[in-house]
Homo-oligomer: A and B are copies of this chain.
Amino acid sequence: MRQSELFTKTQKKDPRDETSLNAKLLERGGFVYKNSAGIYSFLPLGWRVIQKLTQIIREEMNAIGGQELFMPALVEKRYLDASGRWDVEISFEVKGKKDRQPGFTLGWTHEEVLTEIVSKYVSSYEDLPFAAYQFQTKFRNEARSKSGLLRGREFIMKDLYSFHVSEGDLRRYYEKVAGAYHKIFQRCGVEAVYTEAAGGSFTISNTHEFQVLSPVGEDTIFVCDDCGYAVNQDISGSLKIKKGAVCAKCKKGKFREEKAIEVGNIFPLGTKYSKAFNLQFVNKDGKKEPVVMGSYGIGLGRLMGTIVEVYHDEKGIVWPEAAAPFKIHLLVLGEATPQLKKAGETVYNGLTAAGLEVLYDDRERVSPGQKLFDADLIGLPLRLVVSEKTLAADKIELKRRAEKESRLLKLEEFIKTIK
């Protein structure tokens, strides 16, 4: 894509109303726009990041047999009444102009909706197990939404739900999902710690979180420095775990206390929702039993914000390759002579013809300093420069965003290496 055509621009100064680093950098780079507290638009660069993350997650969900679907945001009151979740504090209420009472909530999770849908199709043990997921906008009226993309009031979530004949079968699939989550975070470049956390009234045991260590995290977790066993602070008391204590699992390492960002969570739900919506199956002995369920979430905006919190320097974002909106930032530096313009076009066409994703800074009245500033702020993995100097050597200049050194090389050589 030609940067001269991109409608967003970078900003030199931090936005006044943001305190979090991820939101500052993402807004300055033109990735997002804040419409209201905790409510963001994803602009073309930011939306490309979300699409990259979506595709990674989709591939891993399909790999464990997930069936993609799409449920509504408007969730009628009867759904939440059935599960006793209508009066949850973080929920928004919706009504028509002429309605007296709100008839809907904005879905902040979809257990109820999917359980009802599934009850139409499941009747026998032969219909189980299966899992279904969606990428869909969720709404939570969070009181504190000051962490930029980390805690939104409206956010895109991948939510997967699984349905089983028994707790044993749920457990097997639960481990499979945990494995898929590890792959997802690994592919996105973030190291996520598998962490035990509190259960609560709608789960059959403790739940698990995927936590990325970061000073801006809102969670406190205890991680064993030897075996990696991790526990959320919310259950550390009951497990008698504290900072410096010997690990309860390996009996060797010690627990370190650290701040962390929860990027994913998985819940063994049991039969709470299947009982509420009469989702039953006939087992091999001809008897009716409630279906056993699990649910599994990843917030996409939060994952994007976490990546920025982990990957940045004083100049801007340093995107890991899999999450970058484009792989390559091609800059034409210096006075736009016909010769230089032609060279820039040749390189751009060569790269795109090779199937590479390129943001091409072809802007004519922008100084080399501003272009280099923008490239560092936007943070694409590879920067290619075409200038009088590189033209004279019949080469292009390559610099990785994460490194300091640049080098000159032939365009063909670059394309060959990168492919």
Contacts and interface: CB of A to CB of B under 8 A. Distances in A.
* Contact count band on A: 35 or more
A6 to B, nearest CB: 7
Given A35-B76, A92-B96, A7 B121 contact: yes
A94 B97 contact: no
A210 to B, nearest CB: 24
Interface in A68-105: 68-76, 87-89, 91-98, 102, 104
B154 A73 contact: yes
B70 A153 contact: no
A35 B67 CA distance: 19
A43 interface: yes
B5 A65 contact: yes
Interface stretch (A112-120, A175-183, A403-411): A112-120
Interface in A350-364: none
A137 interface: yes
A68 B44 contact: yes
Specify which of A33, A44, A65 lies most central, judged by the most chain B CB atoms within 10 Å of its CB: A33
A96 B92 CA distance: 5
A7 B137 contact: no
A161 to B, nearest CB: 11
Interface in A41-55: 41-44, 46-47, 50
Interface in A1-55: 5-9, 30, 33, 35-36, 39-44, 46-47, 50
A41 B154 contact: no
A39 B72 contact: yes
Nearest to A95: B93
A185 interface: no
23 contacts: A5-B67, A7-B67, A7-B118, A7-B121, A7-B122, A35-B113, A36-B76, A39-B72, A39-B74, A41-B117, A42-B70, A42-B71, A43-B69, A44-B67, A44-B69, A47-B68, A73-B106, A74-B154, A89-B97, A92-B95, A94-B106, A95-B102, A126-B365
